[in-house]
Structure 1
Amino acid sequence: MDTRRHTPAALVAAALLLLSGCGGGEDPARSETPIDVVALSTYGTGTATFADVAAVADAVTAAEGTRFRIITSGTAIGRMLPLKDGQTQFARVGDEYIFGFRAEHEFADEDWGPQRTRVVWAPTAPHSWMARDGSGIEEAADLEGKRVPRVTANPSVNQKTKAMLASAGLTWDDVRPVDIGYGEQPDALKAGKLDVLFQQVYGSSLAELESTTPVHWLEFDENDPRTQRAIEENVPSVELRSFTGAPGQEEGGSNTGFWYAVPVITYADTSDVVASQLARSIVDSYDKYRDATSTTDLWSTDDAMIAPVEVPFHPGLVEVLEQEGVWTAEAQQRQDELLAQEKQLRRGWQQVKESENLRRDWAAWKKQHLEEAGDE
């Protein structure tokens, strides 16, 4: 069932700005005055994540006149690289903000290393695994021997799948991995090339899939000890919670999915003015976009992640949260711990970055030093 709300104006405006190039000159991320054009990278146009960004951008433009340029990519590196290279000031990303911070997966590379990523706003959203009706796949345990997506250049998704499989005592060795792009999954499931897909549950591509192919969501037991352990060990930022009103659900139906932040991020050297400008605009424009999509209501301070978990918050965001009265002493303590961890990571990288087997030696360094510090 498709109960999504639509924002044609936002999507049209965002699509037009997708065609716009970013100009040269002084880096706007370092501006000490508010900027007129915000450049941001995110997921592709068929995703719910893009729809949210477009809706929020449209509302902020209508309220304040700030324009947005959006660059899209289906890969973690593709979303992070424009931010790193200064093409954008912000990015809305998956767990690559965590992987970049800790130099994991593709970021354990001489061209990357620990990134000084910072959260600017962290809305949460439900994600889960969808299968075709009649497939016999109702829960994770049913995936043994089945075709499971191993999403190209997307360690965030693949780590979630690792956790999902572990909830049933399975690993990648127990399934048939299919290397595929994130946005290619719905068509592949429809064509019988995949037995299951993983996406944000309100994506327009899933509504299109449901219109031609009967589908349903896998079931998860949030009280199951093995499932809880699998999440804690693999994706500690994930919460198991119910979602409703998504494609593949009956009227009034509910399923349990993986909820986690898909944050807007920047780098530490983005000025407080620019970072707080966007965070403040998101807060102040909330009533204008809250009903735009099925998940924009989750951008409020009541539902967004308002305390750091694995990556520090930008001081510009902290300033806004303090103004809103929701920044706590516990949040500040975790912020300080993460900033100290960042220094430790950057020092450690200097010790191993010339290694001939960089990924192996970096993983060994982190295992020793971060575990000793109690951070893993």
Structure 2
Amino acid sequence: MKLGYPRTLAAGVFGAALLAAGPAAAQDIDLPDTMMWSAYDVGSSGYTEASAVADAMMKEYGTRIRIMPSGTSIGRLLPLKTGRVQYGWLANEVYFATEAIYDFAAREWGPQDLRVLLGRPAGFGLGCAADAGIETIADVAGKRVSRIQANPSVNIKVEAMLAFAGLTWDDVEVVDVPSYGASLRGVVEGSNDCAGGVPTAGIFRELEASNRGITWPALPADQTESWERLRGVAPFFSPAVETVGAGLTEENPGHLIAYKYPMITTYAETGDQQAYDLVMAMVETFDMYKDVNAVMPRWNAETAGQIPADAPFHPGAIEALKELGVWTEAAEAWNQQRLARMEKVQATWDSAQDAALEQEISDKDWPAFWSSYRAEHLN
């Protein structure tokens, strides 16, 4: 999967799609007067992209949008759960929350009924200081690597990349940090040597321009055994050739991992019309934000509306994608399978709660109980 700057998919795709949908598509857009979104913390690519889209929508529709940044998965999802924000620009915490794993295995969480509207394909790698002498993933052994508190979305990617070379957290010097931004900032300031992140993050640009410089140890797609180890940690990643980002060009690409980030995410209970309108507003304002940075063209519907994603697509988003000529029978089949999986997880959670009640499992012991019950009943 090549994630370089799309040469053929940009404003033309959006314009053709809107013409196919008919003039009513844009006229029917009705955004709320105010909205709140959650996103990764300031300095992240997710925050930058959400800000660019919010600015476009405020100019086009007069909608006031406030973005709540957070460096933790819980910090981004909790305001979505409580209704304080309507949409989250999220990463793999979407998958973790639907599966009730990691931070979301706690009793107060459990499987979350989330839906995706759109998701930008992204490359992710281990951004390392060039002066640390790291050329391959194996060279990371013994180096200082960031691990973010309460952020399994980033940590599992780093763990998977370490597994590519047969390494674990025990083989590196772990530097625990409080947030994603602090993780990247630490490499610039010299408190660590490597941090997992998206190459377009603004702080990685700072690293590239600093005395330390930046390098991306490669995860070549043809190293089959290494990829098997990586997918043993995280099965939802695939190889990517990234040409956009700090230290990366067409002539000097990075062999990284691919996933979707950010994903515009909400709960299933969000109205179909609301979801439809936001997708169409993304389409209508595309020309206003597509040139903010080199990855923004990937928000065209033909790219951002593709499966897979970490949760099923929202029915309102699907309706919009159908009108835009993007949604296919294969996409619908995938969506139905993903919905069935989530229903099974939710039913298993309920039965585990009943079993735990009978066995008088405490809140403290619940995560271990759920992990065992889940492994036995959910495969």
State TM-score, norm by structure 2. 0.84
Residue 138 of structure 2: SS of its match in structure 1? helix
Q: Does 1:362 align with 2:370?
A: yes
**Equivalence for 2:126:** 129
Deviation at residue 40 of structure 1 after TM alignment: 0.5
**Equivalence for 2:156:** 159
Residue 122 of structure 1: SS of its match in structure 2? strand
Query: CA separation in 2, counterparts of 1:221 and 1:251?
Result: 16
How big is each residue's C-alpha offset from its partner over 1:341-375, in whole Å with a ceiling of 9 and x where there is no partner?
2222222212223433222222223223332xxxx
**Alignment check: 8 A CA contact 1:133 1:216 kept:** yes
**Equivalence for 1:202:** 200
Can you give the 5+ residue segments of structure 2 that lack an aligned partner in the other structure?
A: 6-28
**Equivalence for 1:52:** 49
**Equivalence for 1:70:** 67
How big is each residue's C-alpha offset from its partner over 1:217-252, in whole Å with a ceiling of 9 and x where there is no partner?
212211110232134333333232222242234784
Query: CA separation in 2, counterparts of 1:275 and 1:185?
Result: 33
Query: CA separation in 2, counterparts of 1:232 and 1:364?
Result: 21
**Equivalence for 1:265:** 265
Deviation at residue 304 of structure 1 after TM alignment: 1.8
Deviation at residue 34 of structure 1 after TM alignment: 4.2
Q: 1:272 to 1:251 in 2, by over 3 A?
A: closer
* 1:231-310 pair list within 5 angstroms: 231-249=230-248, 252-262=251-261, 263-310=263-310
Residue 265 of structure 1: SS of its match in structure 2? strand
Query: CA separation in 2, counterparts of 1:347 and 1:322?
Result: 30
Query: CA separation in 1, counterparts of 2:72 and 2:47?
Result: 14
**Equivalence for 1:327:** 327
Q: Does 1:85 align with 2:82?
A: yes
Q: 1:315 to 1:308 in 2, by over 3 A?
A: farther
Q: Does 1:172 align with 2:169?
A: yes
How big is each residue's C-alpha offset from its partner over 1:43-92, in whole Å with a ceiling of 9 and x where there is no partner?
11211111111111122222233221111101100000110111111001
Query: CA separation in 2, counterparts of 1:245 and 1:322?
Result: 30
Query: CA separation in 2, counterparts of 1:197 and 1:300?
Result: 29
Deviation at residue 331 of structure 1 after TM alignment: 1.6
**Alignment check: 8 A CA contact 1:127 1:198 kept:** yes
Residue 304 of structure 2: SS of its match in structure 1? coil
* 1:185-196 pair list within 5 angstroms: 185-196=183-194
**Alignment check: 8 A CA contact 1:125 1:200 kept:** yes
Partner AA of 2:315 in structure 1? P
**Equivalence for 1:15:** none
Deviation at residue 98 of structure 1 after TM alignment: 0.7
Partner AA of 2:133 in structure 1? G
**Alignment check: 8 A CA contact 1:92 1:265 kept:** yes
Deviation at residue 100 of structure 1 after TM alignment: 0.6
Partner AA of 1:221 in structure 2? P
Partner AA of 1:151 in structure 2? I
Query: CA separation in 2, counterparts of 1:90 and 1:59?
Result: 16
Partner AA of 1:339 in structure 2? L
**Alignment check: 8 A CA contact 2:276 2:317 kept:** yes
Q: What is the root-mean-square deviation in Å for CA atoms of aligned residues?
A: 2.1
Deviation at residue 310 of structure 1 after TM alignment: 4.0
Residue 246 of structure 1: SS of its match in structure 2? coil
**Alignment check: 8 A CA contact 2:31 2:278 kept:** no
Query: CA separation in 2, counterparts of 1:187 and 1:332?
Result: 41
Identity of aligned residues (%): 33
Can you give the 5+ residue segments of structure 1 that lack an aligned partner in the other structure?
A: 5-31, 372-376
Residue 123 of structure 1: SS of its match in structure 2? strand
Q: Does 1:117 align with 2:89?
A: no
Aligned length: 341
**Equivalence for 2:12:** none
Query: CA separation in 2, counterparts of 1:190 and 1:331?
Result: 41
Residue 134 of structure 1: SS of its match in structure 2? helix
Partner AA of 1:138 in structure 2? E
Query: CA separation in 1, counterparts of 2:310 and 2:51?
Result: 26
**Alignment check: 8 A CA contact 1:34 1:273 kept:** no
